[in-house]
């Protein structure tokens, strides 16, 4: 499951984004994000990258399986669910793995 590489290195987590359905793709898919923030910050960051309006919905899933609560710590989510040191996130504009 989460063997091999460390999920959090020097206070950062590597996340990889992948679009699903009608959501637009990102030009760059991997980012280093501060580990000590709440997971909600990931969605805020992604919104900025995609330039989506606040009224538009955006869903972010971990390992194409579940959506963490925005008030969880990114470091904990990464340590629990990373694969080879990367937290794999899928995003879409309609609920996908509801």
Partner 1 sequence: MEADVGRIQRAVWEGRVPAVITLARDELTTLEQPRELYLMLPRQGYLPYAATREVYDHFGAHAPPCPGEVWFEASGVPLRWTVPIGVLFDLHAPTSAAERLLPWRLVAHFSNFPAAAVLRGGGARDMTAVAAHYMNALKQSTYLRCGSTQPVMSLSTDAQRTLQRSIEAGRYADYVAVQAQLSPPQSMTNERRRKARVAVRIHRDAGAWLQPALSALHDDGHARSLASVLSCALPGEFGGCEAEAEAEAATRTVLIHGVPAPLRAPIDWLCAACAHPDGFLHVVLHARAPTAARAAGGAAAQGAAGPDHGVEAGC
86: which DSSP letter?
E
Judge contact between 64 and 81, C-beta under 8 A.
no
Q: Which two tokens stand for residue 69?
A: 């609560």
Q: What are phi and psi of 74, to 5 degrees?
A: -60, -40
65 touching partner 1, by CB under 8 A: yes
Residues 76-95 that bind partner 1 (CB under 8 A): 76-77, 79-81
- Beta partners for residue 92, in sequence order: 59
Give the interface size with partner 1 as a residue count (CB under 8 A): 22
Q: Cα 19 vs. chain centroid, distance in angstroms?
A: 11
Q: Tell me the closest approach of the beta carbon of residue 7 to partner 1, in angstroms.
A: 8
7 touching partner 1, by CB under 8 A: yes
Instruction: Determine the interface stretch with partner 1 among 2-10, 14-22, 25-33, 43-51 (rule: CB under 8 A).
Output: 2-10
Considering only 11, 72, 84, 94, the residue that binds partner 1 (CB under 8 A) is 72
């Amino acid at each position: 499951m989460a063997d091999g590489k460390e999920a959090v290195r020097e206070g950062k987590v590597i996340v990889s984004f992948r679009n699903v359905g009608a959501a637009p793709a990102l030009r760059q898919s991997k980012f280093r994000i501060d580990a000590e923030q709440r997971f909600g910050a990931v969605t805020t960051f992604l919104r900025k990258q995609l330039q989506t309006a606040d009224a538009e919905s955006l869903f972010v899933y971990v390992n194409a399986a579940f959506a963490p609560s925005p008030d969880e710590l990114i470091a904990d989510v990464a340590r629990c669910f990373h694969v080879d040191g990367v937290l794999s996130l899928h995003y879409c504009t309609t609920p996908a793995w509801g």
